[in-house]
A and B are shown apart, each in its own frame.
Chain A
Amino acid sequence: MTAVLQVEDLKTHFFTRAGVVPAVDGVSFSVNRGEVMGLVGESGSGKTVTGFSIMGMVDKPGRIVGGRILYQGRDLASVGEREWQAIRGRHIAMIFQDPMMTLNPVLKISTQMIEAVQAHVHISKQAARERCLATLARVGIPSPAERMDAYPHQFSGGMRQRVAIAIALLHDPEVIVADEPTTALDVTIQAQILAEVQKLAETSGTALIWVTHDLSVVSSLADNIAVMYAGRIVEQGRAATVLRYPAHPYTHGLIESIPSRNKRGGDLAQIPGMTPPLLDLPQGCAFRPRCPKATEACRAEQPSRRMAAGQHARCIHPIQAAEVAQ
């Protein structure tokens, strides 16, 4: 299966007064049609910037300094703003985290949806409106015709996020980048939306890149997982494999610290220390200061190594299958 989107050695750096921040430093992955890729990491890991890079929306003082973003044979990393406008929303769409802030509070929902349609296709306002109504129905919004002319603050959080998802679906894009779309929602709504999105992706064949810090979310949703730390992917592979047999100590630590995995009454497992400031990364493996298995050899640069079928990790002391607590 050829990949819909292929990211090769992407580097996005921020040139601030305090120095150069390598927010994304050599990230490579690919997504196929109909697949869900979970991009997991803590805040500051570079996952959001990766998402924005794929959309061509990295703002000053940041810019893409290296690597390629291959989409339909073109390298998007070197494409101009006009071409990006044609791609964004139509072929690669994005869903943001907080639906209250992503919808303009002083414009009606209908305005914001119709403009999204008319930005890419020359159809009449009426036809655009029809398309919007159909899409709203697809994401499960009841009586869309009445609700469309309302303002964002008249909707609940879950509804707003469905609207945002609908907007992303308007042109049946090949790729959707979802940046923590359920983090701001109630747990029950979260589950609903997750299920619906998964169904949508399956039926329409859209490739989904789900950016999140929450491993439990991706565990049910994703086909592939890429774990990011300090601007690099430290482990990636099939979701089932990575979650059951994490190779990189960081992934292992993340999985262990999920509260439901800990025994009742016992201390919660934690990864000691904090993520390093990106301006001042440790030499070699960025996780070394916090890693229980670190040695002197870890001070050297760590290329990605193949572990098992389809699984890659940047580690010279990967966790063996036998060490993983069940």
Chain B
Amino acid sequence: MVAYLLRRLGQSLLAVIAMAVLVFIGVYAIGNPVDILINPEATERQRLEVMERMGLDRPLWEQFWVYFGNLLQGDFGRSFVYGESAMSVILQRLPATMELALFALVLAIVFGVPLGVIAGLKPDTITGRSIMAGSILGFSLPNFWQGLMMILIFAVFLGWLPAGGRGQTTEFLGMRVSFLNADGLKHMILPAINLALFKMALVIRLARAGTREVMMQDYIKFARAKGLSYRRVVFVHVLKNIMIPVVTILGLELGSMIAFAVVTETVFAWPGMGKLLIDSINRLDRPVIVAYLMLIVFLFVLINFLVDLLYSALDPRVRLAQRGAQ
């Protein structure tokens, strides 16, 4: 078990390093680092200062070491717009995005799995078919369009929920969170649902396909032959078998949720990393873009690693195989 974990850790580190190298090539070798890292409006003195700190006047391979050293310290240069360290600008907004993404993930599982199982148990009924049709819509309609429709219906026509922004936040573990107060929740519901819908469609399809596949297995027939009630068969046998792929795939999708938050945050004016990215692209605040990229890569690798851990904890076959391999 430990050996397996160490191996995965090593692989993850390699992936991060590989991406760092790629970003380096993209920014320093292909792009012009001077344009990317130095604010066009900077004074001559500021220019020289940044060039010195980033080592832009030295040969390429030296630049790489400076870059790597800075990377390890989290220094990606200064945001043109905000004037602060690019990374700290992003990190300030990280909690908002993470909270939204996690809430959306929970919603996707809580609603998606039961719907998918129902669709899988009764595939040829009206219920089953409408669930699938609904999921197709959730999956193929562009995220932003769904968000707009939700604003139109719930904020403009019905006036039940606010159309954007984050509302009030409360302090929790040193971060500002929304879910602990009513106003914050009201502001979070629509964007969270918007973000969740896309993945919910995926969860429903997964749960349905998994359920259909599991129902055809002999062990389900055997369970019925033992005289077990339908409820038991579904809740224990089917659910346990489909939760494994559902959870692992969803775990991997958390990363993509963080990426998609870009759209949701823009539509709902949610002050997270995603909105920051779009604003930065439009305002050409390149250090922030580079910093965002590296952070996302890091998050992805981290999530993949954690999901692997989770998977081996859940599936007894994998767990025992690892132990046996020692």
> Which A residues form the contact surface with B (CB < 8 A)?
55, 57, 85-90, 93-94, 96, 98, 101-107, 111-112, 115-116, 119-120, 151, 153-154, 164, 167
Taking a contact as CB atoms under 8 Å apart, the answer to whether A115 and B218 are in contact is no
Taking a contact as CB atoms under 8 Å apart, the answer to whether A107 and B240 are in contact is yes
Taking a contact as CB atoms under 8 Å apart, the answer to whether A57 and B236 are in contact is no
Taking a contact as CB atoms under 8 Å apart, the answer to whether B226 and A104 are in contact is no
Taking a contact as CB atoms under 8 Å apart, the answer to whether A96 and B241 are in contact is no
* B129 interface contact, C-beta 8 A: no
Taking a contact as CB atoms under 8 Å apart, the answer to whether A115 and B228 are in contact is yes
* A59 nearest CB neighbor, chain B only: B221
Taking a contact as CB atoms under 8 Å apart, the answer to whether B227 and A87 are in contact is yes
Taking a contact as CB atoms under 8 Å apart, the answer to whether A55 and B228 are in contact is no
Query: What's the minimum C-beta distance from B156 to chain A, rounded to whole angstroms?
Result: 47
* B49 interface contact, C-beta 8 A: no
* A82 nearest CB neighbor, chain B only: B229
Query: Which chain B residues in 216-233 approach chain A with CB under 8 Å?
Result: 217-219, 221-229, 232
* B283 interface contact, C-beta 8 A: no
Query: What's the minimum C-beta distance from A97 to chain B, rounded to whole angstroms?
Result: 8
Contacts of A120 in B (CB 8 A): 227
Q: B316 is contacted by which of A96, A151, A164 (Cβ under 8 Å)?
A: A151
Contacts of B221 in A (CB 8 A): 57, 96, 102
Taking a contact as CB atoms under 8 Å apart, the answer to whether B227 and A116 are in contact is yes
Q: How far is the CA of A55 from the CA of B221 in the complex (A)?
A: 11
Taking a contact as CB atoms under 8 Å apart, the answer to whether B228 and A119 are in contact is yes
* A167 nearest CB neighbor, chain B only: B226
Q: How far is the CA of A158 from the CA of B209 in the complex (A)?
A: 32
CB within 8 Å for A103 and B222 given contacts A86-B227, A115-B236, A154-B320: yes
* B219 nearest CB neighbor, chain A only: A104
Q: B241 is contacted by which of A90, A104, A115, A119 (Cβ under 8 Å)?
A: A104
Contacts of A89 in B (CB 8 A): 225-228
Q: How far is the CA of A154 from the CA of B221 in the complex (A)?
A: 22
Q: How far is the CA of A103 from the CA of B317 in the complex (A)?
A: 14
Contacts of B226 in A (CB 8 A): 88-89, 93, 115-116, 119, 167
Q: How far is the CA of A120 from the CA of B225 in the complex (A)?
A: 12
* B315 interface contact, C-beta 8 A: yes
* B244 interface contact, C-beta 8 A: yes
Taking a contact as CB atoms under 8 Å apart, the answer to whether A55 and B218 are in contact is no
Query: What's the minimum C-beta distance from B211 to chain A, rounded to whole angstroms?
Result: 14
Q: How far is the CA of A317 from the CA of B229 in the complex (A)?
A: 49
Taking a contact as CB atoms under 8 Å apart, the answer to whether B240 and A106 are in contact is yes
Q: How far is the CA of A247 from the CA of B317 in the complex (A)?
A: 51
Number of interface residues of B (CB under 8 A): 22
Q: How far is the CA of A104 from the CA of B320 in the complex (A)?
A: 16
Taking a contact as CB atoms under 8 Å apart, the answer to whether A55 and B225 are in contact is yes
Taking a contact as CB atoms under 8 Å apart, the answer to whether A103 and B219 are in contact is yes
Q: How far is the CA of A57 from the CA of B220 in the complex (A)?
A: 11
Give the 7 A-B CB pairs with smallest separation, nearest first.
A89-B227, A101-B218, A102-B222, A88-B227, A89-B226, A94-B225, A116-B226
Contacts of B225 in A (CB 8 A): 55, 57, 88-89, 93-94, 96
Taking a contact as CB atoms under 8 Å apart, the answer to whether B317 and A105 are in contact is yes
* A108 nearest CB neighbor, chain B only: B316
Which has the most chain A C-beta neighbours within 10 Å: B222, B223, B320? B222
Which has the most chain B C-beta neighbours within 10 Å: A85, A86, A93, A106? A106
* B237 interface contact, C-beta 8 A: yes
Contacts of A115 in B (CB 8 A): 226, 228, 232, 236
* A154 nearest CB neighbor, chain B only: B320
Taking a contact as CB atoms under 8 Å apart, the answer to whether B320 and A107 are in contact is no
Q: B217 is contacted by which of A101, A107, A119, A154 (Cβ under 8 Å)?
A: A101
Taking a contact as CB atoms under 8 Å apart, the answer to whether B315 and A85 are in contact is no
Taking a contact as CB atoms under 8 Å apart, the answer to whether B317 and A98 are in contact is no
> Could you list 9 further interchain pairs (A-B, Cβ under 8 angstroms) beyond the known A106-B316, A151-B317, A153-B320?
A88-B224, A93-B225, A96-B222, A98-B218, A103-B219, A104-B241, A106-B315, A115-B232, A116-B228
Query: What's the minimum C-beta distance from A33 to chain B, rounded to whole angstroms?
Result: 21
Taking a contact as CB atoms under 8 Å apart, the answer to whether A151 and B227 are in contact is no
Q: How far is the CA of A81 from the CA of B274 in the complex (A)?
A: 53
Query: What's the minimum C-beta distance from B116 to chain A, rounded to whole angstroms?
Result: 18
Contacts of A90 in B (CB 8 A): 227
Which has the most chain B C-beta neighbours within 10 Å: A57, A104, A164? A104
* A151 nearest CB neighbor, chain B only: B316
Contacts of A153 in B (CB 8 A): 317, 320
Taking a contact as CB atoms under 8 Å apart, the answer to whether A151 and B320 are in contact is yes
Contacts of A167 in B (CB 8 A): 226
Contacts of A116 in B (CB 8 A): 226-228
Contacts of B240 in A (CB 8 A): 104, 106-107
Show 11 residue pairs from A and B whose CB-CB distance is below 8 angstroms, ordered by the A residue.
A88-B227, A96-B218, A96-B221, A104-B240, A106-B240, A106-B244, A107-B237, A112-B223, A116-B226, A116-B228, A164-B222
Taking a contact as CB atoms under 8 Å apart, the answer to whether B244 and A119 are in contact is no
Contacts of A85 in B (CB 8 A): 227-229
* B228 nearest CB neighbor, chain A only: A119
Contacts of B223 in A (CB 8 A): 104, 112
